[in-house]
Amino acid sequence: MRIPKIVILGAGYGGLITAVRLQKQLGVNEAEVVLVNKNDYHYETTWLHEASAGTLHHDRVRYDITSVIDRHKVDFVQGTVMEINKEEKKVVLENGEINYDYLVVALGGEPETFGIKGLKEFAFGITNVNSSRQLREHIEYQFATYNIEEEKKDERLTIVVGGAGFTGIEFLGELGNRIPELCQEYDVDFNKVRVICVEAAPTVLPGFDPELVDYAVAVLEQKGVEFMIGTAIKECTPEGIIVSKGENETMEIKAETVVWAAGIRGNSVIEKSGFEAMRGRVKVQPDLRVPGFEDVFIIGDCSLVINEEINRPYPPTAQIAIQQGEVVAKNLTALVRGKAELENFVPDIKGTVCSLGEDDAIGVVYGKKLTGGKASIMKKVIDNRSLYLVGGAGLVLKKGKFNIL
């Protein structure tokens, strides 16, 4: 008898959790499980701001996928997904095709540039290992070049960060620690460096606890960050950015480094494959399947789940992607075993912690506000927990963060 074939696209938080749960829950004779990912490694997306600033080496944020999957139970295919043909139940890869009986789409997000001119061409993103490595190298190159040039270009030492959401703020926290190191290494006067955060909303971290926001702003200003609040990036050019404040006021900021950290959308494969989506995110059923396609589950940043209490989508987070992966693995196990009843996904939001560099953070955990060292320890506990859920204590020991005290 032919056994069903489950194909998981993406080995990020959602996809990898699905795979390791399935390898525990299903016997080899029950289903064929295939995991597809662009690279042969998984990276911790939630640590990329550190690799981008250069405070953590990029090899620390990634590990081999085959080190955490059981190859007798899960077949790993390295490949780039181009499109999903849901009518023919087929995935088109750059280097081939794969058929499926059940599909899990967990391809993560991409930067949302809102059609702003020049961003795609001239701004850096904090998106994956490659983009983080490129950004770190670019910043370091500006410092290395500054003193060599006869005519000093101060814009070499100007870094603009677009967006004061969690990604922007966490990156600024790391930069705040990295800049003094770079100044020392390359004999650059700290006072020549400018780090400017441009945020369109009237506040940093819109929607977050105002007391914690004030704490974060004070810490970052202390580290030299300038905030331009209520100011939107309108264009990015090879020389810097054009911003607007209010109706008519526009201004140019010259900067050799512009980092776009002002939002994400679902993976472009979603729209290319003809799924009905809002900014690349598919509104899934409570059991995480796609309406009209009972054999396709979508999780993580490609999925959209409404928070009924406020009638708005939950923000895309690793916390949600991991929990969705656990539910999908249970639901696939039920389907393979011929059960019709599936579990609904109910997010269990434990809190949010935002780092402000290696030893400082802000957060709300189980309704309790945290700042400083305590919040920073909590952040590392959360980081280690995601490793534990995938690879147990062994992976935590290999890749975990222990610089807690």
DSSP alpha helices (H): ranges in 241-371? Answer: 268-272, 318-336
Answer with the entry of ligand NAD, ligand FAD, none that 37 interacts with (C-beta below 5 to 8 A by kind): ligand FAD
Residues in region 299-318 near ligand FAD by CB under 6 A:
300-301, 316-318
Question: Rule CB under 6 A: is residue 354 a binding residue for ligand NAD?
Answer: yes
Q: Whose Cβ is closer to ligand FAD: residue 53's or residue 160's?
A: 53
Question: Rule CB under 6 A: is residue 167 a binding residue for ligand NAD?
Answer: yes
CA neighbor of 197 nearest in space, from 160, 224, 235, 167: 160
Cβ density class 168-205: b for 16+ within 10 Å, e for less: bbbbbbbbbbbbeebbeebebeeeebbbbbbbbeebbb
Q: Whose Cβ is closer to ligand FAD: residue 78's or residue 285's?
A: 78
Q: Are 112 and 26 in contact (CB under 8 A)?
A: no
Residues in region 80-99 near ligand FAD by CB under 6 A:
80-81
Answer with the entry of ligand FAD, ligand NAD, none that 335 interacts with (C-beta below 5 to 8 A by kind): none
- Find the helix packing angle between 372-399 and 13-25, rounded to 10°: 50
Residues 6+ apart with CB under 8 A from 277: 266, 270, 271, 304
The token pair at 305 is 């789940």
Among 46, 177, 331, 333, binds ligand FAD (CB under 6 A): 46
What x/- string results for residues 321 through 360 when contact with ligand FAD is judged by CB under 6 A? x---------------------------------------
Question: Rule CB under 6 A: is residue 200 a binding residue for ligand NAD?
Answer: yes
DSSP 38-101: SSSEEE-GGGHHHHHHTSS-GGGGEEEGGGTS-TTTEEEEE--EEEEETTTTEEEETTEEEE-S
Answer yes or no: 170 catalytic: yes
Among 19, 84, 164, 188, binds ligand NAD (CB under 6 A): 164
What is the rounded CA–CA span in Å between residue 145 and residue 239?
A: 16
Name the active-site residue from 110, 170, 199, 256: 170
What is the rounded CA–CA span in Å between residue 239 and residue 160?
A: 12
What x/- string results for residues 208 through 247 when contact with ligand NAD is judged by CB under 6 A? ------------------------xx--------------
Answer with the entry of ligand NAD, ligand FAD, none that 266 interacts with (C-beta below 5 to 8 A by kind): none
Residues in region 63-82 near ligand FAD by CB under 6 A:
80-81
Nearest distance, CB of residue 78 and ligand FAD, angstroms: 9
Say which residue the tokens 């140019």 belong to: 252
Q: Whose Cβ is closer to ligand NAD: residue 9's or residue 126's?
A: 126
What is the rounded CA–CA span in Å between residue 382 and residue 352?
A: 10
The token pair at 152 is 């000093």
Among 317, 343, 350, 388, binds ligand NAD (CB under 6 A): 317
Q: Which residues are catalytic?
A: 170
